[in-house]
Amino acid sequence: MILRKILESIGFEVEQAENGRVAYDLLCSWIPFDVPDLALVDWNMPEMNGIELIEAIRDNSELDALKIIMCTTETEVSQMTLALLTGANEYVMKPFTAETIIDKMALIGMPVGTS
């Protein structure tokens, strides 16, 4: 809910998925027409965790342009490193602020403005 509120407040349309498998299927359902620009991924999800989701996304060439930010309670450097090596563009540790998410989005080249 927090991420949805942040993204909608800066003009993004938001889709949610209850787990990693549903998220991947949803992303694939938009190929080739309207693949989203950004995915915010939690590490700890049922069905398919965040690392598995990132691997699946990065293995699908039709999702190459998708930017990924891992947003998680996992705080160990080794976990951040794994997420980034797997293909996340940025990593945010919970709890975070709207400014943190906006800053990370700007770092990965997402157009960010307030509405």
CATH number of the domain at 33, please.
3.40.50.2300
Q: Give domain status of residue 114, yes or no.
A: no
Range of the domain at 69: 2-107
pTM above the 0.95 mark? no
Tens of pLDDT, residue by residue over 53-73, are: 999 999 999 999 999 999 999
Q: Give domain status of residue 112, yes or no.
A: no
Q: Give domain status of residue 96, yes or no.
A: yes
Q: Give domain status of residue 30, yes or no.
A: yes
In the chain, the number of structural domains is 1
| Rounded mean pLDDT for each run of 10 residues along the chain, 115 residues in total | 89 93 96 90 94 98 95 92 97 92 94 63
What does the angle CA 23 – CA 63 – CA 76 come to, to the nearest 5 degrees? 65
Q: Give domain status of residue 115, yes or no.
A: no
